Structure 1
């Protein structure tokens, strides 16, 4: 099915394919999709394999520029880390994100066309998968290439073309529409898909939108859409009444040999993962035990506000010291031109196309949805609803399973306890912490969302849940979407030869660069660029 020719039509419109290339193909030379088996095979390719993780992680506050003397970088990484419009090409570039998402959408739409032609009565599960995959690819695109959803401005903010049918014309012209329109259409597709999805149609469920994966996506979408109660309801379809029975067993991961291949393979095989997408990407090597990509990376300095930031259960308001530890301890690498603090989750694999020549492709596996992150989605939505007790219960369920509280007596002996806290302790910590600024490292960031956040407990709980998600999803790119949602300012620091830090740039709350620029080929094809 990888040779299905209809993909060329959609990519022609969106990626500026040359006339000569087009003339080499018979117009509308589509594979005949005339059975349930063929539809299911078609839907295998309805998942976007372009990895947004690297572009989004490098755009976020999870990395630092380790200095011009560090040679382990390239122009693509430098452009992404400095919010410069990307001109370089690579498997992790913005063109790959765009191209692979629209290719996946084309497969979803072709499946929907075939289902409509054959009659959907016996193909409802396939229709559900086609709709949810179409919604997800558009969700990735709108959150990478557009401003974040804001009810006050999204009716005029530039969206992305929402493809609802297979393309049949020779030279179609596309309008970007608005973010509001894209979100409305994503919502329509999700709501239509959820009742239809059936796990019975999958032989290896982890690679497909099962019911739980679909509800996890619906929960995150509605969190971004500011539909707090729906986010809670959908997340509750994923998380059992006893959350610790469904989230990841981090202690088991921590008991494995501290070998990157061992732990990353165990991570991607865990039942807490709701969806796995194989991808061609260097994400696993950049955020791995290698010099590759070490110039722009998660350094020890950044880790002071992520992995080693103060936590409510260990915070001492007199000393300001936190002694939190982990059931699955981070991996720390330091040396000349190597400063990486990593929470190993992302595998690095290599696919040889020519073993003799030693060439091929960097590979990895994306885990877009997990039970852990869905639990934190529910915690955040409950915080916005004012359900503080329920929100803190969810956070405590997660922290007990992820962190390890350590107490030390006067003789240096350690004792261990559950990493859980109270609302009073949350308020105590975040009231005491300074806001991060250009001159201050802090896990407490000024929040400037489009919606109203009440000072005091609500704001403090949001700081806490955002911090938990920042640590949980580190190296995956999701932090960038929280930065956009909450209007968090990002300071890009560069390490100087004398050990000091220089501010290279500040990404302000309303900076246009928060919407990553469309690929240059797409702009050349006639689609309106993001303002700069």
Structure 2
């Protein structure tokens, strides 16, 4: 189906398309979306092709700068890693994140308008998918481009324009509103969508917001929204009464041939995956055994001190490779320092096979049963349901590591009490926490440290660590490894640093949307 002229009304203000682009389009053809089949085809495009993961991962504490003598970088990677305004153009730039999300939202809204016009009696499942995709795209936008939700300040913190209907004016003016208003609208869309979603409408449910993916999203959203009870309830809808049976088979992953293609293909085709989203991105190339991106990457130093091989309550001397059911891939050579979990495929779509040119692609898995289990564990900790949280954490570590990788509340308390907070001179996994909500010192804080560490390891390379940094006000020093092996701190992202709200694309600002303060 042709792109409808209506989408370009939105782009005029939000994406700053040229007049020529606008005039080249055919007349408004919304009336063509007049059947269930056409609505379902439209909803295929309600999932963004823009990928936020690389910008968020490079902004986080999961990477080091291996030094100026390493030539394997580009200006845009340097800008992302150093929290600068992104001026370069790339497959993974923030303009693609913004454009992709709003184009997906436009398709969701067009589907909703068509459903209302036709009559929703026989289109309830389609309405559910349109609402949940609209909510999810706005959720990504508000968490990338705004301050994190905070019940004390979000009624004044800048949000993003929340699009609830197809645009019908030539040059609309958009107000950003507040983070609180955006969260309220996301919440309303989720609550309206959940009862309507039906897996029966999908030929391949994994590529759509099926019921379990929708509840996993609802669980994560409510965790971010500080609705702990709802987060637990929705996560339980995904995990059922036997969560261990729902987790990824990490042992089987570890028995696969040690090749990028074998393990990434298995990862994106596992029953633990709740949603698969193809995107245009170099993420699989960047976090693969290639020199691309090796200057700013997840180094052996980060792995040893803070992530994969850092101490845990059940391995206080450090996590050895023998502890993993699915072992990381370690590359150490001249200007190649990457310690990786292969999960993100590197795909290439040829536009001209003869010339060998085309687009880098990947498939992202935004929601898994494993991550949803850790969402529930964190919410349980916030409600002081510590035994339940411990059971969930042990279920995950037994699956991800080895069967003996489990612990007790006393062991967690003792371990984190004995671990110094991370500092610029001595990095560790234990970060000073400054969330907008209350975390009580002692056992509750120590359990939060543990669940954040588990999620950091599980979601490595996916960008989700960045959202935990924002949620918990974690400081991030940017380390640069010098040619003599010493380490220099180039900059520090403070707990309330304005740069944690990534800057809007310049085209969007030029079109009249208010920029983030700096």
User: Separation in 2 of the partners of 1:455 and 1:180?
Assistant: 28
Give the match's secondary structure for 2:479: strand
CA contact (8 A) 1:4 1:31 kept: no
User: Separation in 2 of the partners of 1:503 and 1:371?
Assistant: 37
Corresponding position of 1:69: 69
Corresponding position of 1:333: 331
Corresponding position of 1:423: 409
1:91 shift after superposition: 1.2
Q: Which runs of structure 2 are paired with 1:166-315 in the superposition (5 Å)? A: 166-304=166-304, 305-315=306-316
**1:373 partnered with 2:397:** no
User: Separation in 2 of the partners of 1:280 and 1:465?
Assistant: 31
CA deviations on 1:314-358 (whole Å, 9 max, x unpaired) are 22xxxx455462000000000010000001100001111001111
User: Separation in 1 of the partners of 2:294 and 2:30?
Assistant: 45
1:26 shift after superposition: 4.4
CA contact (8 A) 2:313 2:411 kept: yes
User: Separation in 2 of the partners of 1:96 and 1:83?
Assistant: 18
1:168 shift after superposition: 0.8
Corresponding position of 1:100: 100
User: Separation in 2 of the partners of 1:255 and 1:19?
Assistant: 55
User: Separation in 2 of the partners of 1:435 and 1:450?
Assistant: 19
1:5 shift after superposition: 3.6
Q: 1:497 to 1:31 in 2, by over 3 A?
A: farther
1:3 shift after superposition: 3.4
Corresponding position of 1:432: 418
Corresponding position of 1:407: none
Corresponding position of 2:490: 504
Corresponding position of 1:164: 164
Corresponding position of 1:479: 465
User: Separation in 2 of the partners of 1:430 and 1:322?
Assistant: 15
Which of 324, 342, 345 is matched with 2:343 structurally?
A: 345
1:24 shift after superposition: 2.7
- Count of residues in Structure 1 that have an aligned counterpart in Structure 2: 516
Give the match's secondary structure for 1:6: helix
Range moving further from structure 2, 194-203 or 10-19: 10-19
CA deviations on 1:189-246 (whole Å, 9 max, x unpaired) are 0000000000000010000001100000000000000000000000000002111111
User: Separation in 1 of the partners of 2:319 and 2:51?
Assistant: 35
User: Separation in 2 of the partners of 1:71 and 1:521?
Assistant: 29
CA contact (8 A) 1:9 1:28 kept: no
CA contact (8 A) 2:310 2:318 kept: no
User: Separation in 2 of the partners of 1:228 and 1:212?
Assistant: 19
User: Separation in 1 of the partners of 2:386 and 2:192?
Assistant: 32
User: Separation in 1 of the partners of 2:175 and 2:318?
Assistant: 53
1:311 shift after superposition: 1.1
User: Separation in 2 of the partners of 1:134 and 1:262?
Assistant: 34
CA deviations on 1:155-213 (whole Å, 9 max, x unpaired) are 11000000000011000000000000000000000000000000000010000001100
User: Separation in 2 of the partners of 1:436 and 1:531?
Assistant: 28
1:6 shift after superposition: 2.8
User: Separation in 2 of the partners of 1:383 and 1:85?
Assistant: 36
Corresponding position of 2:38: 38
1:8 shift after superposition: 1.7
Q: Please report the TM-score for the alignment, with normalisation by the length of structure 1.
A: 0.96
CA contact (8 A) 2:4 2:28 kept: no
Question: C-alpha root-mean-square deviation of aligned residues, in Å?
Answer: 1.0
CA deviations on 1:72-116 (whole Å, 9 max, x unpaired) are 000110000000010011110000000000000000000000000
CA contact (8 A) 2:433 2:472 kept: yes
1:28 shift after superposition: 3.1
CA contact (8 A) 2:5 2:22 kept: no
Q: Which runs of structure 2 are paired with 1:77-116 in the superposition (5 Å)? A: 77-116=77-116
Gaps of 5+ in 2: none
CA contact (8 A) 1:6 1:31 kept: no
CA contact (8 A) 2:371 2:458 kept: yes
Range moving further from structure 2, 15-24 or 36-45: 15-24
CA contact (8 A) 1:51 1:97 kept: yes
User: Which portions of structure 1, spanning 4 or more consecutive aligned residues, are displaced by more than 6 angstroms?
Assistant: none
Give the match's secondary structure for 1:233: helix
Which of 509, 512, 516 is matched with 1:526 structurally?
A: 512
**1:463 partnered with 2:464:** no
Corresponding position of 1:410: none
User: Separation in 2 of the partners of 1:19 and 1:211?
Assistant: 41
Gaps of 5+ in 1: 405-416
User: Separation in 1 of the partners of 2:288 and 2:5?
Assistant: 37
Give the match's secondary structure for 2:32: coil
User: Separation in 2 of the partners of 1:206 and 1:155?
Assistant: 36
1:29 shift after superposition: 4.3
CA contact (8 A) 2:279 2:361 kept: yes
Corresponding position of 1:412: none
1:7 shift after superposition: 2.0
